[in-house]
Amino acid sequence: MKQKHFIDAHKGATPVVVTLLIALYGQWRNPTALLYLALHGTYGILWITKSRVFPDRQWEQKCSLWYGLYLWFGLALYWISPWLLTMRGVRAPAWYQATCVSMYAVGVFLHFVADMQKHVALTIRPEHMVMDGLFSRCRNINYFGELLIYSGFGLLAMHWAPAAVLAFFLLVIWLPNMRRKDRSLSRYPQFADWKKSSSFFIPFVW
């Protein structure tokens, strides 16, 4: 099996798990819990759609059952957010919820549009370095979009644990992947100029 099969299975299971947590803790009248379900649930559906329409080469690699389960249970750490939210009956203020939705919306745009741009560009020119469009000012704008997505619904739990989980994935998986990408692209002569004119991860900051 490919890595994406385990990842997609987890994304698809997320709305089911969150719904079960809402039912378990009787949070059907909690607007924050339902908002969380809407955000994280639709993200899972969008991810599976993306995986089918414009797959990421990184997740097309084959893996063993054990490694696939390792990926699956690692991603299950993201379910700490809905568990904390539903178990504690968190009801976030309206302004806080609006902020989270805004972060999520911007993140979805950046993440999915950037991945689509990369997929189309590399399909047409496989040995092409994608450094225009959304990538012109930030070399890893898709990862930044993903950060906003997970922050958007993770912050709804109003607890430090989801932020710690996100920081863990950022330090252990995302940053190494971004640095590996920079090293790979450094073979192109245009990379040096692009590196000088673009940020690494957070637009206009770093």
Tokens matching residue 116: 């689509």
Mean per-residue pLDDT for 132-137?
Answer: 92
pLDDT value, residue 66: 80
Q: Which of 49-53, 101-105, 168-172, 179-183 has the lowest mean pLDDT?
A: 49-53
Question: CA-based diameter of the chain, in Å?
Answer: 58
Percentage of the chain beyond pLDDT 70 is 98
> Minimal CA–CA distance to 38: which of 95, 113, 108, 88?
108
Position 162 scores a pLDDT of 96
Full-model pTM:
0.92
Q: Tokens representing 148?
A: 């906003």
For 36, counting Cβ atoms within 10 Å of its Cβ (0-12 exposed, 13-18 middle, 19+ buried), the class is buried
Q: How far apart are CA 166 and CA 151, in angstroms?
A: 8
How confident is the model at residue 93, as a pLDDT?
97
- Burial classification of residue 132, based on how many CB atoms lie within 10 Å of its CB (0-12 exposed, 13-18 middle, 19 or more buried): exposed
pLDDT tops 80 at residue 57:
no
Helix axes 160-169, 80-88, angle to 10 degrees: 180
Chain segment 177-193, per-residue pLDDT in tens: 999 999 999 999 899 99
Question: Band of the pLDDT at 124, cuts 50, 70, 90?
Answer: confident
Domain ranges of the chain: 3-197
